[in-house]
Amino acid sequence: MSEYRGYNGRALEFLKQNKVKVGDTVKIITDFEQTATIMPRYEHSDDSHIVVKFKSGYNVGLGLDKIKKIECLSNASSTLESNNIIKHNPALPKILLLSTGGTIASRIDYRTGSVTPALTAQELNASVPELAEIANIDAEVLFSEYSENITPEHWIKITQKLDSLAKSDYKGILVAHGTDTMQYTAAFLSFALAGFPKPIVLVGSQRSSDRPSSDAALNLIGATKFIVKSGANGVFVAMHNSENDDDIACHLGTRVRKNHTSRRNAFETVGAKPAFVVSGDSVIQNFARPYYNQKDYTPKIGLDSKVALVKYHPGYDSKLVENLLDSGYKAIIFEGTGLGHVGRTMYDVIKKAKQRDVFLGMTSQCLDGQVNMAIYESGRDLMHFGVVPLSDMISEIALVKAMWSLGTNAKNIKDIMLKNIASEFRE
Ligand code: ASP
């Protein structure tokens, strides 16, 4: 039913009776006559309006009772088909766009702003024509999930697919991904594919493409320029750098966090500038450290998800950790207070966890700064019980790293957690 996406009841009947569909260019007569495009609607919206986009670019809801006449001028499918011819330019590099879902993975149509769930090479070409001037883009749909539904099994699937492309002739790989859990996926890829010889760039969008303010196309264009021009390898997240459409930030996959629910520049590199910024046609590098400690590509694909992230707070019930131990959890990452503390009510369960050989790591719930457990007595006590301070590793990144360490080299989890694999912490 994507031809009538989001329409129901009277509004749906109205479109059908007048033989117009989403994406069609129409002549519409209300108090005056205008040309507009029929826009998709949200599923649960009322049935007394249709939404159209006028030439000015504005989306407007029109009450059915205001419309005196509506007539199809040109059909959506015919316009799309004529845009669908991909011209490969042998002078440009090849890039693969792997789609995993999220708002970004919907087809973006500049003309209508319409959203459909699958993204094919043809549709991409038709939707963001600027891309064809930067690179030859192939597209493949790996799966189609909003990122809140992405599980560690999906990470493995993405990683295996990327690993199979390490020696391909693609200059780099774009991974279209929902923004909600993008930082977790980026972290897993950074560890499992450490030293990957090409740039892997996760790209999402904060605004659905049926809004004039969508960031999807610009994020894709910025990410593509980054792959072509930066010369970087490793895993990055490319999103708006500010509320404006000026620059796209490319954050290191192990230092990035979604810090705003809805702003286009929701992603930030914690404690530093983004590794790269794409501004117009130039790519500015802010990051001096190497992305990986090792030079060679040595993929290690595996994980064990028996790791818990525990945010300590006043009144925290230590029985919750007791339950984790009883449920067979093998590692716990604490998000402690300040420099890396939990209260003394936790000491007994921490000792018990240690006796059971559970790895205990400490990060901080402060968004910036380093864990330092040597300053206060409580920190020193915790270290004495075997809690390992994890420098300035972001807690979610530490969680993913512990899952990966457990799944690839469980015996050495402590050593691996303390080894900088992909610039996840400051030395
Ligand atoms: N909830 C969506 C997701 O993470 C939001 C988005 O697509 O950015 O998939």
Residues 58 and 136 reside in one and the same domain: no
pTM flag (> 0.85):
no
The reported pLDDT for the residue numbered 246 is 87
Residues 120 and 236 reside in one and the same domain: yes
Does ligand 1 have an atom closer than 6 angstroms to the CB of 148?
Answer: yes
Residues 200 and 239 reside in one and the same domain: yes
**Residues 258, 273: Cα–Cα separation, whole Å:** 14
Task: Evaluate whether residue 424 is within a structural domain.
Answer: no
- Ligand 1 center to residue 178 CA distance, Å? 4
Q: Are 34 and 53 in contact (CB under 8 A)?
A: no
Task: Evaluate whether residue 294 is within a structural domain.
Answer: no
Task: Evaluate whether residue 298 is within a structural domain.
Answer: no
- Ligand 1 center to residue 14 CA distance, Å? 32
Count of structural domains, the chain: 3
Of 41, 4, 215, 27, the C-alpha closest to 128 is 215
| Backbone φ/ψ region at 292: left (φ over 0), alpha (ψ -120 to 50), beta | beta
Residues 144 and 184 reside in one and the same domain: yes
**Residues 42, 61: Cα–Cα separation, whole Å:** 12
Residues 255 and 361 reside in one and the same domain: no
Of 171, 167, 179, 176, the C-alpha closest to 201 is 176
Copy the structure tokens of residue 416: 């691996």
Mark whether 411 is an active-site residue.
Answer: no
Q: Are 244 and 297 in contact (CB under 8 A)?
A: no
Residue 3, phi then psi, degrees to nearest 5: -65, -25
Find the angle CA(186)-CA(187)-CA(193) to the nearest 5 degrees: 85
Residues 119 and 259 reside in one and the same domain: yes
- Chosen domain end from 22, 49, 76: 76
Alpha helices by DSSP H, listed for 268-391, are 319-326, 347-355, 377-385
Can you give the CATH number for the domain in which 167 is found?
3.40.50.1170
Task: Evaluate whether residue 87 is within a structural domain.
Answer: no
Residues 321 and 390 reside in one and the same domain: yes
Positions of the chain with pLDDT lower than 50, given as ranges: 1, 79-84, 108, 110, 210
Mark whether 179 is an active-site residue.
Answer: yes
Query: From the alpha carbon of 204, which atom of ligand 1 is closest?
Result: 8
- Chosen domain end from 76, 105, 138: 76
- Ligand 1 center to residue 416 CA distance, Å? 31
Residues 278 and 250 reside in one and the same domain: yes
Task: Evaluate whether residue 248 is within a structural domain.
Answer: yes
- Ligand 1 center to residue 177 CA distance, Å? 8
Residues 332 and 363 reside in one and the same domain: yes
The reported pLDDT for the residue numbered 113 is 53
Give the torsion through C-alpha atoms of 375, 377, 383, 384, to 10 deg.
140
Structural domain for 260, as ranges? 94-285
Mark whether 258 is an active-site residue.
Answer: yes
Can you give the CATH number for the domain in which 393 is found?
3.40.50.40
Residues 68 and 192 reside in one and the same domain: no
The reported pLDDT for the residue numbered 80 is 45
Residues 150 and 11 reside in one and the same domain: no
Does ligand 1 have an atom closer than 6 angstroms to the CB of 183?
Answer: no
What is the separation of C-alpha 168 from the centre of its chain, rounded to a whole number of angstroms?
A: 24
In the DSSP assignment, the letter for residue 184 is H
Does ligand 1 have an atom closer than 6 angstroms to the CB of 347?
Answer: no
Catalytic one of 258, 269, 363, 408 = 258
| Backbone φ/ψ region at 16: left (φ over 0), alpha (ψ -120 to 50), beta | alpha
The reported pLDDT for the residue numbered 408 is 97
Catalytic one of 79, 100, 116, 179 = 179
Task: Evaluate whether residue 57 is within a structural domain.
Answer: yes
Does ligand 1 have an atom closer than 6 angstroms to the CB of 172?
Answer: no
- Chosen domain end from 76, 111, 128: 76
Can you give the CATH number for the domain in which 49 is found?
2.30.30.520
Residues 143 and 267 reside in one and the same domain: yes
Task: Evaluate whether residue 292 is within a structural domain.
Answer: no
Task: Evaluate whether residue 277 is within a structural domain.
Answer: yes
- Ligand 1 center to residue 40 CA distance, Å? 19
Q: What is the pLDDT of residues 45-67, one digit of tens each?
A: 788 989 887 776 567 889 999 99
Mark whether 300 is an active-site residue.
Answer: no
